Structure 1
């Protein structure tokens, strides 16, 4: 699968014809609103069979621009697209695909929008600065509806999408949302998103055939996140040679899991919190390095994560099955999903915090068929005896994040495990920088065929 994806997606090429936005009246003075001029360049390019819409050196202020098939935005090295700070410059675009995105989140506004297109891209060594700071777009942090805070990029039901070499910064909400798309290539993309709440880095939802390669994301919310709110499956994905930093989750499969997730390979990644030298909206510690969860009925299976570094996370690895069951109005609540056939190997890291890693299914729905192999990371330590004997809530209907479970310290500084079947931890070593009263591994109820470093637990 990996070889096929790399071969096929490497063939996605941009066309040669070029349309300079300056020729259509755009003025790169950091002040003039260029929405009409930029859109005219895009429309002309599309009407003539496609090509490149070029942003040469300068700063181009704009409101919402709508992509068209066979059009690639090329932002030159010394050029910037800058988002307007007036919400009136972001008209509603409501997709025809009905999903949790349209019914619960009700996303309507973004700086860049495209729906049901083929052969589109955002390329070049320049920057798109969305100007999403709270001083321009206020509003509370939320798990559903986001009002008057435009997303950066929304791409809906599109095929053959390239995002390459571009620098994306400071959206008012999620930076990028790709919903039920196919054949996507993200190459050497840089994202810094610490302007506001809900500042995700890259969200792929119900997408098929995607490669994320050589990317750097520093995000206030989830950095690299796969969702299933479209009710379509996310499958055939490669993520490699990238760094995902976050004050939430570095690499996450979950949040909305109405669709399923399968055949996902991630390798050679740096995950976790944000070094002091880098920008952060609030603090520098991550909730998790790796999160794999299902809480809305979807299946998570056939996942390989290898050669991963996890630093500055409270919960380095979090695997969970829950029963939130969020669906659209009028739909029946689904049965809980499954989390199975997972390999996590060659893991290192340091400066992780006190919480510890957690593997937890739920009564009658175990996490199963998981191998975690060759893992050596350090934790902060300092756990107390009361932490070692604390009760970990089931919270089966809760939000799918590790901070819901004994954030300050689980009963083990390494792994706390329950509701698990056919779980092997081989050559796993967790150390602490200071004395910790908790054990390295501890087990709750409903564990079956669990083997830890060659010791059979049950």
Structure 2
């Protein structure tokens, strides 16, 4: 059968159009496969959801309510009156001017911005009775009734601490620190300490037994140190510009909070358990432009200890850390060890981590009592001058020496490091100790260059790491 010329030309034209369309679709699919979503676009979205706080144009100076800046007069009531009055009038700014102001605990209220002017030095009294009666707080990720945090907010909204002044907790080898039980922090053998049966062991048992928080009474007669600044179940929290020093225990501890910004804060405190910032059970947290020089982890993201974390079951998530300077500390950005409810969606970028007394840059720590999960951690553009142990450490045997074995196998996956430059990597470049029952999964290193590590890699119970343009001690991986 013969086709006339016109039909033949039409057929060839249809074939040509079909071929062009097919190739175009193939190219489009290919382009879509190549195009990858930048995870830090998600970080920017998280930041955008933490709104800028606004306060009414109303100011109260604590001096106008009788505060005296001599470093000796107790100003607790003057500060309380100022905050309460500001709150009742609809909110505004409470000003602490230049000078040395001694006080007991400060309790923040909704719609109040506590503002420290340059030269303001807030000294917290060493009289432990000032921090009573006991309040609903926490200790090492277990809730209890204990000494009030030095700065405390409970179930408040739209609160801020801002300015250029300093909060001095006045903890030292004679005040608060000796209770940790270590001689280097002033503990004298034979005197009470936090590990005594009536302290931590009692609290641990209450955790296991799900004892109601109201019945977990500590405080006077016990040796569990107070937190420095704890917003508890608060939304819309700003901590900006101020300095914290000489902390009794953890420094900044937003627990069960949403929409928190920590901006331009300096934490310089080298006492026991002096973590810099510990978001716990918290969502939408932005930590930026801060300096951490600490006695423990610079930033430690947490989500409850053991049974309590599993009961509460609020993961910490959507957390961005950027433009920060980490100096001394057990870790730069850390997840754990109290992590039983899990942590996910953590973004770290544009930070400097450098000190002969900084143990690790990025650290994940848990065990089979804690369990929990860590997933979707993205770290980019980090300069590490020097660390002691490892650039990245993932440890699922944390605290094994203290009988920390249980039935809750941790899950750790999707950990991504990119554009990391390390001058002195310490003992290990990368150190991972996973569990055979559930190995660490999907760890990638892209454009990571580590110098000076004594051992390149130490990997146990992990899927093979994915390396892209990565060198350790000059060796291409």
TM-score of the pair, normalised by structure 2: 0.75
Please name the residue that 2:372 is paired with: 298
- Give 1:7's match in structure 2, choosing from 18, 29, 48: 48
Whether 2:267 is the aligned partner of 1:226: answer no
Q: How many residues get paired?
A: 385
Please name the residue that 2:70 is paired with: 29
Separation in 1 of the partners of 2:119 and 2:337? 37
Gap regions ≥5 residues in structure 1: 274-283, 326-332, 382-412, 433-439, 441-451, 454-458
Change (3 A) 1:73 1:179: same
CA RMSD of superposed structures (Å): 2.5
Please name the residue that 1:165 is paired with: 241
Q: Which has the higher strand share?
A: 1
Please name the residue that 1:174 is paired with: 250
Residue by residue, what CA displacement relative to the aligned partner does 1:419-447 show, whole Å, maximum 9, x if unpaired?
A: 11152122222229xxxxxxx7xxxxxxx
Residue by residue, what CA displacement relative to the aligned partner does 1:14-58 show, whole Å, maximum 9, x if unpaired?
A: 332111111111111111110111111111111111111110111
Separation in 2 of the partners of 1:162 and 1:414? 41
Whether 2:412 is the aligned partner of 1:339: answer yes
- Verify the 8 A CA contact 1:90 1:110 in the aligned structure 2: yes
Separation in 1 of the partners of 2:115 and 2:467? 47
- CA-CA distance at 1:92 after TM superposition: 4.2
Q: Secondary structure at the residue paired with 2:79?
A: helix
Q: Secondary structure at the residue paired with 1:414?
A: strand
Separation in 1 of the partners of 2:323 and 2:139? 34
Separation in 1 of the partners of 2:295 and 2:289? 20
- Give 1:130's match in structure 2, choosing from 169, 174, 178: 169
* Rg larger for: 2
Please name the residue that 1:289 is paired with: 361
Please name the residue that 1:199 is paired with: 274
- Verify the 8 A CA contact 2:434 2:440 in the aligned structure 1: yes
Change (3 A) 1:323 1:316: closer
- Verify the 8 A CA contact 1:94 1:102 in the aligned structure 2: no
Residue by residue, what CA displacement relative to the aligned partner does 1:83-118 show, whole Å, maximum 9, x if unpaired?
A: 112112212443288994225xx7533211111110
Whether 2:345 is the aligned partner of 1:263: answer yes
Gap regions ≥5 residues in structure 2: 1-41, 183-193, 201-221, 401-405
TM-score of the pair, normalised by structure 1: 0.78
Q: Which has the higher helix share?
A: 2
Please name the residue that 2:132 is paired with: 91
- Give 2:98's match in structure 1, choosing from 39, 57, 62: 57
Single out whichever of 128-137 and 33-42 deviates more from structure 2. 128-137
- Verify the 8 A CA contact 2:56 2:90 in the aligned structure 1: no
Question: After superposition, where does 1:35-74 map in structure 2 within 5 Å?
Answer: 35-74=76-115
Residue by residue, what CA displacement relative to the aligned partner does 1:289-328 show, whole Å, maximum 9, x if unpaired?
A: 1102343221111110111122332222102334889xxx
- Verify the 8 A CA contact 2:429 2:450 in the aligned structure 1: no
